[in-house]
Amino acid sequence: MMLDASTMVLVLALGNLALCALLTFFNHGPTRSPALVLWSLSKQIQGGAWLLLALGDAGVVPAPIAVPGGYALLFAGVAVEGGASWEAARRRGWRTPTIIVGGLAILGFFLCYLIDEEALRAVAASLLLGGFYFSGALALAWRWRDVSLLQRFLALASMALALVVASRGLSVLLLPGGWGWLTSELLGQLSSGALYLLMLGNAFGVLLLTRERLQDALERAEVIDPLTDAPNRRGFFQLLGPWMALARRPGQPTSLVVFDPDGFKRVNDSYGHPAGDVVLRQMVELCRRQLRDSDQLGRVVGVEFALLLPRTNLTEAALVAERIRAAIESTPFKGERAMIKLTASFGVTTIRPEDSTTTLFQRADEALQQARQAGRNRVELASETLAEV
C-alpha cells in the first residue's frame, strides 16, 4: 500500500531525526571525522525541514511559512550532505561552490513558489533535490578505480535514485500527462519512495563505509610504520616471505640490505625527538627515490631499516647501497631549528636456499656491524657471501 504525501513527509522527518540520534552516539568522542560531522549536521537540517513541511501539511504552521522555509532548509541539508561526501573524498574545495549553488537553489525555488505554488514548485523541488543528491553520488564515485565495491554500489544506487527524484520534475515539463502507464501520480510516488531510499541508503552506506575505512586503517596499522609510512617489521617480513621461498629455486638472486643512520641518538639529544622524526621521514623519502618500484624499504626496529631488492645479485645490491649512502651523506636534512647532516652504515647479503629469516638477518646484521667497526658511513658485504660477487 502506497503512503500518501503527508504521511511520507512525516516518515522522512522522523527518519532523519532518528538518524541524528544514531549519529550522536556513533560519532561521539574526542576525535570526530569532519565528513561524519557534516553528514550528521545535514541530517539535523533535513529532519527539521521535513518536520516543518509535515507541520505545514497538518495545518499547524501556515503554508506560506512552512513550504518556503521547509524547502529552503531541505535544500541546505541535502547540499551539506553532498558536501560531506566530497569531504570524505578529500576534495576540500566543495565549500564555496556548495554555498553559491545552495543559495541560488533557494532563491530559484522562492521565485518558482511565488509564480506557481503547485506545479512549478514541484518541478523546481524535484530537479534541485535530484541535482544535489547526484552531486553526492559523484563524490562517492570519485577515483572510481581506488574505491571499494561497497562504495561503487552506493554511488551507482544513489545516482539512479537521484535521477528518479529529478524525473518527477522533468515529467511535469516534458510529459505533463504522463506516458502510458507511467502517470504523474505514479512518478510522484516513485519520487517519494526514492527520497526515502536515499535517506536509508545514505545512512547505512555512511555507517558501513566508516566501518570499512576503520577496518582498513586497523589492518594498515598492523603492517605500516605510522612515522615513515614504510612497512614495519611485520609488514616487511610479509613482503620478504615469497622471496625466501623463491630463493629455493634456480634463478636470479634476491638481496637484503640493512642500514641505520650513524649516531642518530645525537640528533634526538641535540635537537629533540620531533626533529629526529622529521629527519627520519626525510631520509626515508630520499632512500625511496634511489629505488625501483619493485624494491621494498621497511623499518624493522628502532632506526634500523631494511631493503629488499628482488632479482638483484650481491654486486648490484652493493651498488644500490653505495648510491643511497652517498645520497644520505651529501644531503642536509631540514630540522625544526637547523640543517642536520647524517651518514649511514650498510650491511649487504643475498638470500640463500637454506636461509630462514633469522639466519638471513643475522648475516646482514653482522655485515652492518663490520661497517660500524670499520668507521661507519660505509657499505660492507656479508663475509660468507663474498665469493658470490
**CA-wise closest residue to 89 among 155, 43, 153:** 155
The reported pLDDT for the residue numbered 203 is 78
Taking the CB of residue 142, how many other CB atoms lie within 10 A of it?
16
The reported pLDDT for the residue numbered 3 is 54
176-207 per-residue burial string, b: 16 or more CB within 10 A, e: under 16: eeeeeeeebeebbbbbbbbbbbbbebbbebbb
Say if residues 294 and 307 touch (Cβ distance below 8 Å).
Answer: no
Cell numbers given for 290 = 634511489
Please give the DSSP secondary-structure letter assigned to residue 248.
T
Task: Tell me how far apart the terminal alpha carbons of the chain are, to the nearest angstrom.
Answer: 81
Task: State how far the Cα of 118 lies from the Cα of 386, in Å rounded to an integer.
Answer: 88
Task: State how far the Cα of 27 lies from the Cα of 78, in Å rounded to an integer.
Answer: 20
pTM: 0.69
Ranges of residues in the chain whose predicted pLDDT is under 70: 1-6, 8, 20-32, 117-119, 172-184, 384-389
Spell out the alpha helix ranges (H) of the chain: 5-26, 34-57, 63-88, 95-115, 119-141, 149-174, 184-223, 233-246, 264-271, 273-288, 314-330, 357-373
DSSP bridge pairs for 38: none
Task: State how far the Cα of 71 lies from the Cα of 156, in Å rounded to an integer.
Answer: 26
Cell numbers given for 367 = 655485515
Say if residues 304 and 367 touch (Cβ distance below 8 Å).
Answer: no
Q: Please, which residues have CB within 8 angstroms of residue 218's CB and are 6 or more apart in sequence? A: none
The reported pLDDT for the residue numbered 176 is 60
Q: What is the pLDDT of residues 313-327, one digit of tens each?
A: 999 999 999 999 999
Burial of 316 (0-12, 13-18, 19+ CB in 10 A): middle
